[in-house]
């Protein structure tokens, strides 16, 4: 045991991405346990009945198993860039609710039995609103990145990557510029390292400052 929080994560999960970014920027050190979704370790299910990443287990035994709550917890410990000033609940809830709903049914239409083009069009409407918001400022809440940007951008990334040629052809110049800036950031590079899936008995992997 390291005495550090334990983070169950999966590299490509957008929820886990945003949790890792908040933990990293806050300077919170964690024991990282990369999860293979097809073969989840029993310790994950023991920590959280949801058995979905990310899950943060604090040294006190407290479990935080919602990514946005992990972000807010980390930033409450230390918020060097002032991300909590951009904790815009309505914007984040639209991302996590309607946009994620349409994203899943666009990207995984076979799984959901959905009409991909209809859901892609509905997701595009959300992005058009973001494009208007970004037309006069570099980030969603002003000049600097905040919680709203970092909670949202992994899902816009996933939407864009579902059909990158189509996405790049849309009239979303401000969203496209904003997305590129986050994809190219040192922060995103720092939290996207590749790790071998964890199993009991493995050597501890440290993540963060």
**pLDDT of 113-169, one tens digit each?**
999 999 999 999 999 999 999 999 999 999 999 999 999 999 999 999 999 999 999
Does the domain spanning 6-81+190-207 belong to CATH 3.40.190.90?
Answer: no
C-alpha distances out from residue 149 to 46, 70, 146, 202, Å? 32, 15, 6, 34
Answer yes or no: is pLDDT of 204 > 80. Answer: yes
How far is residue 193's CA from residue 199's CA, in Å, rounded to a whole number?
18
Q: Who wins on pLDDT, 37 or 144?
A: 144
C-alpha distances out from residue 177 to 2, 143, 158, Å? 40, 14, 16
Question: Where in the chain are all domains bearing CATH 1.20.1050.10?
Answer: 83-188
CATH number for the segment(s) 83-188: 1.20.1050.10
How far is residue 1's CA from residue 148's CA, in Å, rounded to a whole number?
34
Question: Where in the chain are all domains bearing CATH 3.40.30.10?
Answer: 6-81+190-207
Q: What is the dihedral of CA 187, 190, 194, 196, to 10 degrees?
A: -110
Q: What is the pLDDT of residue 21?
A: 98
How far is residue 92's CA from residue 127's CA, in Å, rounded to a whole number?
13
Q: What tokens were used for 187?
A: 């922060």
């Amino acid at each position: 045991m390291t005495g550090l929080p334990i983070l169950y994560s999966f590299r490509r999960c957008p929820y886990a991405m945003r949790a890792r970014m908040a933990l990293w920027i806050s300077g919170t050190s964690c024991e990282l346990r990369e999860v293979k979704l097809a073969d989840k370790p029993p310790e994950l299910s023991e920590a959280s009945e949801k058995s979905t990443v990310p899950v943060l287990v604090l040294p006190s035994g407290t479990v935080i198993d919602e990514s946005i709550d992990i972000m807010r917890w980390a930033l409450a410990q230390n918020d060097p860039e002032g991300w909590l000033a951009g904790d815009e609940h309505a914007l984040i809830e639209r991302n996590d609710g309607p946009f994620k709903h349409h994203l899943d049914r666009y990207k995984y239409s076979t799984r959901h039995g959905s009409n991909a083009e209809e859901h892609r069009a509905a997701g595009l409407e959300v992005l058009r609103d973001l494009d208007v918001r970004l037309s006069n400022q570099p980030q969603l809440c002003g000049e600097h990145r905040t919680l709203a940007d970092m909670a949202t951008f992994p899902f816009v990334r996933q939407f864009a990557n579902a059909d990158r040629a189509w996405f790049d052809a849309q009239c979303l110049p401000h969203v496209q510029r904003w997305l590129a800036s986050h994809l190219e950031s040192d922060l995103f590079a720092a939290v996207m390292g590749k790790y071998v899936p964890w199993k009991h008995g493995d050597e501890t992997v440290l993540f963060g400052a």
